[in-house]
A and B are shown apart, each in its own frame.
Chain A
Amino acid sequence: MSLLEVRELSAGYGDFQALFDLDITVDEGKTLAIIGANGAGKTTLLRALAGVVPAMSGSVRFDGEDLLAIPAHKRVERGISMVPEGRQLFPSLNVRENLQIGAYSGRPGEWTVDRVVEIFPLLERLLDRPSDVLSGGEKQAVAIGRALMSNPHLMLLDEVSLGLAPVVVKQVYAALPAITGTGTTVLVVEQDIAQATAVADDLVCLLEGRVRLQGTPAELTREQITSAYFGIEAAS
């Protein structure tokens, strides 16, 4: 059964349209990776789903409900939570409080500060530190933990590996099975194609605000993906 159905979605900021008639379906419990070059509209898509970028036209059904009619802050209660690009931790809150604020919506579930520390053991000694002194990887772990605290049904992960050292990226992705294992569906934006094909059940490649290629990693060849990524016509 599909959890999220995006139909002919167009969205953007002010006069600038970033997404054009997008169709995407995400099945319950699956991990979908969105790849694409800079400016392809990946972040706009996630922010439109989270409700902080307005949709211009089209429809989005989430769990059978019309998502576009729900304001951003209520989408968290419905089970959508987001790890924004650049982590965006709250500097006035320490690490523990940043995690606690993730549970603000009061959505029931199994995630607690202790459970987050279980999957990101590096956070244990950092809980009472101010959040603006952490390293990039630590911040990313807090941001993911913060999103998990709302016990999401669908988690939107934006640019997880951006600006992180490869070894740190590996640690962050190592936590993914623990997240999907609880039945959470994941929509991840990733620029690293290899990383995306390794973790995803399905791949969507965006180019200039439109879906260019869609399929499972097994069906798609490396050539197909790279040409879609860079917008080169595949010679066929």
Chain B
Amino acid sequence: MSEYRISRSTPESRGGVAFFAALTLVLFTLPWWDGDGSLRTPLVIVLLYVALAQMWNLLAGFAGLISIGQQMFVGIGTYGLLTFAEEWGIDPYLSVPLCGLVAALVSIPVAFFNFRLVAGYFAIGTWVSAEVIRLLVNDSGSLKGGEVRSLTRESLGGYAKETRDNVTYWLALALAVGATAIVVFVLRSRVGLALRSVRDNETGARGLGVDVTRTKALIWVIAAFWTGCVGAVLLLNAPSATSTSAFSVLSWTALVIFMVVIGGNGSTTGPILGVLVFWFLDEQLADQDTWRFIILGGLAAVMAIVAPKGLYGLLQQWKPLQFFPVRRRLIGPGVDE
């Protein structure tokens, strides 16, 4: 038997996974000990942003798909929920995955158009696609995107308010944890290996028989599904929506991009770090919307040049740690630990 083996885990990553598992458990039990919901209310948004950030990170950091059109899937999730729960009377919580499914379906023709565009033009192309969907929703007679719309009590299925708030919170937690798990899982899978090889050398990866376009398309659809689910939960958490708010490039894509870039694009921990930085800044800059955007936008622009791997990258330079077991390492005699 060989003394060599391939290992993905390190002592820190075992500790890291244990830490995140414990944190998830603590967060799961929050409704029982956070009686007045003072922590729950802000956490819903934070957790949903973690989910959005992980998905954008998966696209840009790992698949090289730089999208400025993610708001389209958020909006589809929001209007999907309005249709399923409000118009068709389906249970609102069961509707959430259906909304993701609609977003995933729409993402296929969107990919068909935009995958023809290179890099920066792909970014603007996805933005155009999001605008098209927004304008269609806005003009649609049945979706009534031009009006302020909200879920009525009947369509919320007669659940008590406390229950509704808790379920929304748990859904947000599930989306955040699930998004992180998807990134970890995708990176550990064969697809993940293919993506890494594409990121390092696209032509080389093609030569090795990796179907680059298919791999990217798969990631694109997964991210659309998850982002669509987030859009639905955002509506569960918000009193109302319009097509302008649901398809906002600033709220659902720009802020997300800034969080990912500041935290650390192309890592698993970085986006979470970015969301936390954003949360902290947001608390300091309450009601200063313009300054929030100026500071975050400026910080992201500067970091893109001076620290392209974000805060997590800086942290890694200082002390290399791997919290999630996604990197394969060779263990055996004569191999440096």
| Contact present between A and B (CB < 8 A) | no
